[in-house]
Each structure stands twice: as C-alpha cells, then as structure tokens.
Amino acid sequence: MGGHGLMKIRYPLLRPVILFTLMSSIGTSSPRHQHPFSLFIRAVAPTVKIGSEVRIDVTLRNITNHEIGILSSDPESEYMVEVRDDQGRMAPESDFNRKLKAPGSARIITNSPIYPLQPHKTLKQQIVVSGLYEMSTPTRYSISVSRTVPEELGSGVIKSNTVTVIVVR
C-alpha cells in the first residue's frame, strides 16, 4: 500500500454505495437555471390586412438529454402571449382572452395528453394571436410568448424570441 495515491476500499459492498453517492452528487450539482426547453416563434404572415387573422407558429424544443413530458392541449391556454404596438403599449385584450384569464375560468380540457418529447426534438403548435388581442389598428405589433416550466422540470418561465407583424389597411 505504500501510503501514496488513493486508498483501496477493502469492503466490496461499499463500492456501489460510494459510486451511487458520487453519481448522485454529480447529477444534482448542475445549475438550476438551465431550462428543459426553448421557445421559438415565427409569424405565419409578417404583414396582414386589418380584419385578417394574425397567427404565429410556436416551436418548443427539448434541450435536455432525456425525454420530457409536455402538456399538449390548447396553446392559447398553455402559453402567455404578449402583444405590443409600435409605441410599446400592450394591445387591448379580446373578450375571449379576458374570459380565458378570469379567475376561476381555467379551461380544463379532458384527455389533454402529455406529449413525450425526446431529446432535441420539437413540438410545433399554432396560436391565433388576433383571437387573444385586438389588432385592428394599422401599426407594427411586437409579439412574444412565454410558458411556465412545470415544477417537476425545474420551475420558472421560459420566454421566446420576439416577432413583428405589420397590420395594414
């Protein structure tokens, strides 16, 4: 044994316990700020006429190295959408959006599947933004979305990029 280097463990039953303890501490030492998914949005049409639907495509990407479960039901309920005009003011909410956000009016969709999202794969959904906000004024609108991270995936809120949609006469 010479006293140099690591001491050998003479109790073979302790080796798995020590290895498990080391692996457990390594697994929990990762920073809590790393999110399990990312969000990317794009406008279906960057310019629309007054009265036309404004739609965005939302891409949720699993950025972990393991499968995650994502609730996949109604994108208008799952994402928080923010719409601002060219002056930076929030666009007025539609009646539908006010009802959707009203206390006690949570939309419960039975059979809402938990979508198993493999590592680095995506879930694509579409949101009709003009159904949530009044976008009848001809101007440039900035749109972004965010989504709450479930507690079992680490909690927090993830925000998307911002896209611009121009409403014209």
CB of 154 within 8 A of CB of 66? no
CB of 91 within 8 A of CB of 84? yes
pLDDT digits (tens, 9 = 90+) for 6-52: 444 444 444 433 333 333 333 333 444 589 999 999 999 999 999 99
Which residue's structure tokens are 């994502």?
70
Note whether residue 17 is domain-resident. Answer: no
H-helix segments, 90-136: 95-101
Average pLDDT over residues 136-153: 94
Q: What CATH number does the domain containing 152 carry?
A: 2.60.40.2970
The number of domains in the chain is 1
pLDDT digits (tens, 9 = 90+) for 85-107: 999 999 999 888 887 777 766 55
Domain containing 130 equals 32-168
